[in-house]
Amino acid sequence: MSSVAKDSVGDLGRHVPALSSALRPHPDDELREWGGSRLVRGKRVLDLGCGDGRLALGVARFATRVEGIDPDPEAIAAAKRNARKAGVRNVHFAAGAAQHLLFPDAAFDLVILSWTL
Amino acid sequence: MVDALVEIHRVLAPGGILVDARPDSRVPAYAERRKPRGFQRFGIVRTSRLELANDRDADRAIARVVRQRLFERRRSGRLWHRIPFGDLAQLRQYLREHLRFVHRAEWVVDRATRKRHSNDQFVIRRAVRYELLAALRSPRNISPA
CATH number for the domain that contains residue A92: 3.40.50.150
Q: Under an 8 A CB cutoff, do A1 and B97 touch?
A: no
Q: Under an 8 A CB cutoff, do A13 and B93 touch?
A: yes
Between chain A and chain B, the number of residue pairs with CB atoms below 8 A apart is 136
Cβ of B84 under 8 Å from any chain A Cβ?
yes
Residue A72 falls within a domain, yes or no?
yes
Residue A20 falls within a domain, yes or no?
no
Q: Worst-scoring range by mean pLDDT, A17-26, B64-73, B99-108? A: A17-26
pLDDT, average across residues B12-29: 93
Q: What is the predicted pLDDT for the residue at B5?
A: 95
Q: What is the predicted pLDDT for the residue at B129?
A: 94
Q: What is the predicted pLDDT for the residue at B103?
A: 82
pLDDT, average across residues B104-110: 92
Phi, psi of A66 (to 5 degrees): -130, 130
Residue A21 falls within a domain, yes or no?
no
Q: Are B129 and B78 in contact (CB under 8 A)?
A: yes
> Is the confidence at residue B137, as pLDDT, over 90?
no
Q: What is the predicted ipTM?
A: 0.84
Residue A71 falls within a domain, yes or no?
yes
Q: Under an 8 A CB cutoff, do B82 and A2 touch?
A: yes
Q: Are B17 and B136 in contact (CB under 8 A)?
A: no
Residue A83 falls within a domain, yes or no?
yes
Segments forming the whole domain that contains residue A42: 30-99+107-113
Work out how many domains chain B is built from and give that number: 1
Burial A75-85 (b: 16+ CB within 10 A, else e): bbebbbebbee
Residue B70 falls within a domain, yes or no?
yes
Q: What is the predicted pLDDT for the residue at A105?
A: 95
Q: What is the predicted pLDDT for the residue at B74?
A: 96
Residue A52 falls within a domain, yes or no?
yes
Q: What is the predicted pLDDT for the residue at A114?
A: 87
Closest CA to B20 of B53, B51, B66: B66
> Is the confidence at residue A3, as pLDDT, over 80?
no
Residue B143 falls within a domain, yes or no?
no
Residue A90 falls within a domain, yes or no?
yes
Residue B144 falls within a domain, yes or no?
no
Q: What is the predicted pLDDT for the residue at A5?
A: 38
Round to whole Å and give the CA distance between A26 and A22: 8
Work out how many domains chain A is built from and give that number: 1
Residue A18 falls within a domain, yes or no?
no
Long-range contacts of B103-107 (CB under 8 A, 24+ apart): B105/B31, B105/B42, B105/B43, B105/B44, B105/B45, B106/B43, B106/B44, B106/B45, B106/B46, B107/B31, B107/B42, B107/B43
- What confidence tens digit (pLDDT) does each residue in B33-71 have? 999 999 999 999 999 888 898 889 999 999 999 999 999
CA dihedral for B61, A65, B17, B130, sign (positive or negative): negative
Segments forming the whole domain that contains residue B31: 2-133
Q: What is the predicted pLDDT for the residue at B140?
A: 52
Residue of chain A whose Cα is closest to the Cα of B62: A117
Q: Under an 8 A CB cutoff, do B18 and A111 touch?
A: yes
